[in-house]
Amino acid sequence: MEATVTTTLITGIAELVTHADADSINEAETATLTNAALIIADDRIAWTGPATQAPPADTRVDLNGRAVIPGFVDSHAHLIFAGDRAQEFAARMTGTPYSAGGIRTTVAATRAADDETLRANLKRLTTEMLRQGTTTVECKSGYGLTVEDEARALKLAREQVEAVTYLGAHVIPAEYQHDPDAYVDLVKGDMLDSCAPYADYADVFCERGAFTEDQAREILTAARAKGLDVRLHANQLGPGPGVQLAVELGAASADHCTFLNDEDVEALAGSQTVATLLPGVEFSTRSPYPDARRLIAAGATVALATDCNPGSCYTDSMPFCIALAVREMRMSPAEALWAATAGGARALRRDDIGHLGVGARADFAVLDAPSFLHLAYRPGVPLVHRVWKNGTPAAC
């Protein structure tokens, strides 16, 4: 007996951004329909087109002239933590430069927290994200830095998000400062063995004050041997080897990409590695913004993500990051939206999200605005009216 498929017609769409035919960020301007409709069949997009040509469906929802965009794909976030670092932020705003050392403050608080505290904080943040239109979230570990605490973080993340990243190589914890090689051995050995069953990806903070190129290569090579895809924090605090290593290893993404030379840009443009830009970090740390225009002009695939974390960027708002990308990185509004949806999907190696083509998962946001342009045009305004996830209106 065949299962019954339930269809829903969403109509009254002033502007529908599908990204269905936008294979790269350079085609982002071509992905908009006006006076449109779409049909959901169970949890998938079954049809999009002019509202006047919409086929019949079992139920009908009229959006009364609002815009619809694909759900945001936040491909870089650190959500398993306890406490905050508001005083560190205040110090930065009065002239103290950012460094990676503050991570250890969060490590201490996270280790001391019980599961329910961490679980509740994760739920609070993912609910905020969904309310703002984010329908897919990547979540990293990295604030435990022991075998037990890293595995615990990944188990908790797996309960609530669908893309989980092992980041035991965030920084060298205090107890290993005298012997960082021993910590690298732990990260690529017993810790990886305990964490791999709960993770999709492995990540390394390849940066001064964190992990060297050789250490990062060892850890990521071991992670790939365990079946994990890889990604890197790269070239955030200054020029370095991270981007080149990401491309060498065929990483899904190189994240931050703030300080790039011509060879780095060329390497990204000639690879499948996505350059994930995190403008909320630059906003929160008063650091230089990445040169998005240079990457786009070279032909690199660019994503936007929040990097939500309690230290360098405590925002989980993709609309805010879009506004920053347009204002501070000179991306067009269409490019920024593509990067925050389709680009994020590429960074997770997913082809079923980040767009609203036929067959895609029915994840989308309805804006209290006639056009997606209002995301950058009206920064800070809560424009997301309603969110559908997996074909169903989300309770957020």
- Taking the chain (396 residues) in runs of 10, the rounded mean pLDDT of each run is 82 96 80 93 96 96 98 98 90 78 86 97 98 98 98 98 97 94 98 98 95 98 98 96 98 98 98 98 95 97 97 96 98 97 98 97 98 96 97 88
Residue 153 is given by DSSP the state: H
What token pair was written down for 252?
Answer: 């899904």
CA 191 to CA 168: how far, in whole Å?
A: 8
**pTM score, two decimals?**
0.96
What pLDDT is attached to residue 99?
A: 64
Query: Would you state the pLDDT for residue 95?
Result: 83
Set out the domains of the chain in order of their start, with CATH numbers.
7-71+354-393 (2.30.40.10), 73-347 (3.20.20.140)
The pLDDT of residue 248: 98
CA–CA separation, 364 and 254 (whole Å): 26
Cα–Cα distance, 107 to 299 (Å, whole number): 38
Dist CA 38 CA 22 (whole Å): 18
> What pLDDT score does 100 carry?
58
The Cα–Cα gap between 38 and 47 comes to: 5
